[in-house]
Amino acid sequence: MKALLCSRLGGPDDLAIATLPDPVPGPGEAVVRVRLAALNFFDTLIIAGRYQVKPELPFSPGGEACGVVEALGEGATGVAVGDRVIVHAKFGTCAERIAVPAAGLARVPDTVTDEQAAGLTITYGTTLHALRDRARLRPGETLAVLGASGGVGLAAVELGALMGARVIACASSAEKLALAKSHGAHDLVDYGRDNLREALRTLSGGRGIDVVYDPIGGDYAEPALRSLAWKGRYLVIGFAAGEIPRIPLNLALVKGIDIQGVHWGVFVEREPEAHRANQVQLLDWVAQGRLTAKVDSVHPLEAYVDALGILQRREAMGKVLLRP
């Protein structure tokens, strides 16, 4: 089979297409023929050796995909050969086939497309866990989303609106904000032009924001944190800006706020039943047309440099997909 392979740590130019033996399912495993693999910002960090997941070299990047079950190992249950499924793995989906535990697969309803399913599990899974399980977002609350046009940011805009929150989308250009508005944002902040803290203060009528969803970090973190209302919740999703901010903890004290880490991968491992319920909920919402699972672009596997470059430059407006 063809696979995108990382044999040395670095950037997209250090990757290569390789031919590898087809995987054979072990006990409890399924081999899935990958139709579409989804890329995430963390893939650019994994191939550089700058992410908490550090696979042994060589490895294939990619943490999620949509495909069809081709073979089952002994004792594998929950899916059948021919089922169209969502795949979630720490890495390895940027290949024509992958062997994964069958118990972790989710069947895709007929009304959900491959493109929607391929990029649903991590971005929307992370976000539903963040908003529902961690922040306990309630209808009528105010949710500020940083990086609102990227993969997880756009998911937060959609899910926040679906859950009944007033969503304030924050991004760095008018084009990105227009995309967020078309996916449910009620108010917009261009932090490339406006003062983020003052804009959030004005939009909240001076009361403050109930929940901040932050996949960016860097210079935007502290002003967003300062914009929180009494007993507000600050969701730490990631650090796409490249810098991990140093937060003055006295802010948590005087505002009575919660700073909540969102590590979806560990949640999946420690609370598999809760994760499975979230997956079913997301697929149902997409099937009902209540979530779009927006796709930025689809690329052939050979165009991996261009695809990863979109994520590195933070140009993605939705999911970036590879077709092995």
Q: What does the DSSP assignment read for 39-103? A: E-HHHHHHTTT-SS--PPSSB---SEEEEEEEEE-TT--S--TT-EEEEE-SS--SBSEEEEEGG
Is the bond preceding 58 in cis, omega lying within 30 degrees of 0? Answer: yes
pLDDT of residue 290: 92
Q: What angle do CA 232, 176, 275 make, to 5 degrees?
A: 50
pLDDT tier, 180 (very low <50, low <70, confident <90, very high otherwise)? very high
Give the integer Cα–Cα distance in Å for 299 and 131. Answer: 31
Radius of gyration of the chain (CA): 20
State residue 241's pLDDT score.
Answer: 75
| Amino acid identity at 88 | H
DSSP 8-state symbol, 21:
P
Structure tokens at 317: 């407006």
Is pLDDT of 242 > 80? no
Give residue 247's pLDDT band: very low, low, confident or very high (50, 70, 90). confident
**Predicted pLDDT at 143:** 98
Taking only the tens place, the pLDDT of each residue in 62-113 is: 999 999 999 999 999 999 999 999 999 999 999 999 999 999 899 999 999 9
The one-letter amino acid at 254 = V
Q: From the CB of residue 110, how many other CB atoms can be counted at a distance below 10 Å?
A: 8
Mean pLDDT of the chain: 93
Quote the distance between the C-alpha of residue 168 and its chain's center. 19
Q: Is 2 helix (H, G, I), strand (E, B) or coil?
A: strand
Residues 48 and 45: their CA atoms lie apart, in Å, by: 5
pLDDT, tens digit (0-9, with 9 covering 90-100), for 293-316: 889 999 999 999 999 999 998 888
Q: Which of 38-42, 141-145, 253-257, 312-316 has the lowest mean pLDDT?
A: 312-316
Separation between Cα atoms, residue 156 and residue 153, nearest integer Å: 5
Task: List 101's β-bridge partners, or say none.
Answer: 29
Structure-token pair, residue 307:
């695809």
